[in-house]
Amino acid sequence: MTATARTRERVEREYGEQKWPAVQRLVEREIEAEGTAAGLARIHARVVRAYAHPGDGLEPHDAILEGAPLTLPRSLAFGALQAMAVEAVLDACTPQTDLVVELGSGWGWHILGTWLAGGPRDALYVGAELTEAGRQTAARLAGLDPELRFRSLEFDYEAPSLAALGRAREAVVFTGHSIEQLPELSPAVIDAIADLAETVTCLHFEPVGWQVGGHARQGSSREYAEQHGYNRNLVALVRDAERAGRLRIDAVRPELMGVNPRNATTLVAWHSPADGG
C-alpha cells in the first residue's frame, strides 16, 4: 500500500468534508445573490467557473490534447474537457434513452451539464455519489429547474448497488475521474452498470491511458497512478468482461484531453448486451 493509498475514509475526508461542502456553500451564496431570478443554467455556470478556473481564465495552463502536450488558457482547457465529455454523453443518447447516470457525480457538475447541454428531456438524471455533501449540492442545483427529473442516489464503488433505480429501457452511464479513486475496481461495478437497463451504453472518462498499451504515452503512467493511489485495472476489467460476452467495447481513446498533463483523460466506451448493436 502506498503512502497516498486511496481508501473510502480518505475520499470521504477529501471530498465529503472538504471539497464538496465548500462548493455547497458557494452554491448557496450564488442562489442567495440571485434571489428569485436563480436558475439552474446561470448558477451552474457561475459555480463551474469559480470551481474549475477561478481567477484569470486567460492564464496559461499546461494540458494534453490527443496525447500531445500543449499550453492553453486555463478557461479553455477546463472548458474543452467538460465539452468533450458532455458531447460524448449526448452522442450516446437516443430518443429512447430514459435514464442518464453519472457514477461518482460529486456536486453534479457533469450530470447537470449534460441536461443543460440538451440531454433527453424525458429521461431521469441520476447523480450517484458517495458523499452526502455532493448529493445534497446536486439536488439543490437540480431543484432550480422544474423541468428536470433528477435523483441523488447514495453510491459506493466498494459496495456497488444501483437496484434502487429499477430497470430502465435504455440507459447511458458515465464516469469522470471517479473510478480513479479506487486502486482496484471490482467486477461487480461492471455488472451493476450492465444490469441497469435492457440496453446500456457506458463511457468512462478516466486517467487510464497507460493501461491501454500500444501507444506513445505522454499523459499518464503506472508510476503516477501508484504514487497517488489511482486505479490500475479498469481497462483489464472491461476487456475481461468483453471476453466473457458480458459487453462489447466500442472505443478506447487514450489521452484525449488532460488538464493535468500527468493524469490525462482517456475514454473507454462499451455497451451491453454485447450483441446490442
pLDDT digits (tens, 9 = 90+) for 124-138: 999 999 999 999 999
* Helix or strand holding residue 22 (H, E): helix 20-34
Main-chain phi, psi angles of 8, to 5 degrees: -60, -40
Contact, 209 vs 220, CB < 8 A?
Answer: yes
pLDDT of 16: 85
**pLDDT class for 216, splitting at 50, 70, 90?**
low
Residue from 8, 32, 19, 18 nearest 154 by CA: 8
pLDDT digits (tens, 9 = 90+) for 1-27: 444 567 788 888 888 889 999 999 999
Measured from the Cβ of residue 250, the count of other Cβ atoms closer than 10 Å reads 15
Contact, 106 vs 20, CB < 8 A?
Answer: yes
- Count how many residues are written for the chain: 277
Strands (E) across 161-196 are located at 168-176
pLDDT at 83 over 80: yes
Q: Report the mean per-residue pLDDT for the chain.
A: 93
pLDDT at 208 over 90: yes
The three grid cell numbers given for residue 133, joined into one nine-digit string: 455533501
